[in-house]
Structure 1
C-alpha cells in the first residue's frame, strides 16, 4: 500500500476545458498548466475559449490598462 497517492486537484462535479486536447473534462484529467477551470457546469466549460476571448477583449479595451501610447501598460498606481 502506498503511503502517498498522487492526486490531481479537483473533484467530480467540477468541469474543466483542456487546452491541449480541446475538450471538456469532469474533474481534471490533464495537468493544471493545460486547462481552464473549474467551471460549475459542462456548458460553461464548453464555452471556455469564448469566455477567454471576451475577457481578453475587455482587458485590451480597458482604459485603466493603457497609458495613451500605442501599447498596453500597467495601470497607474496611487500612493
Structure 2
C-alpha cells in the first residue's frame, strides 16, 4: 500500500505557479518539483516569483542565518586558508 497517493486533480481554489512553464495553474497540474504553492488566490500565485525574491533578500540580510562570530575561514567553495 502506498503511503502517498499522487493527486491527479486539484482542488478548486488552490493555485500554483509552474516554474517550468511560467504560468499559473488551478490545482496541481505539473509535478511538485516544478511548482510553487498552493496559494489561496490566483493573484498570489501570479506574484510567486516576486515573493520568492523578496524572501531570499530577507534571508540574505538576516543576521540569524549568517554566523560571523568565528569558525572556519575560507570561501564558499570550501577551500580553507592555510596558516
Q: Deviations over 1:25-60 (max 9, x none)?
A: 001110111000000000000000000000000000
Over aligned residues, Cα RMSD in angstroms?
2.5
Structure 1 stretches of 5 or more lacking a match?
73-79
Q: Which has the larger radius of gyration?
A: 2
Number of equivalent positions: 68
Q: Distance in 1 between matches of 2:8 and 2:75?
A: 38
- Uncovered stretches (5+) of structure 2, i.e. residues with no partner: 77-83
TM-score by length of 2: 0.72
Q: What's the TM-score once normalised by structure 1's chain length?
A: 0.75
Q: Which residue of 2 aligns with 1:75?
A: none
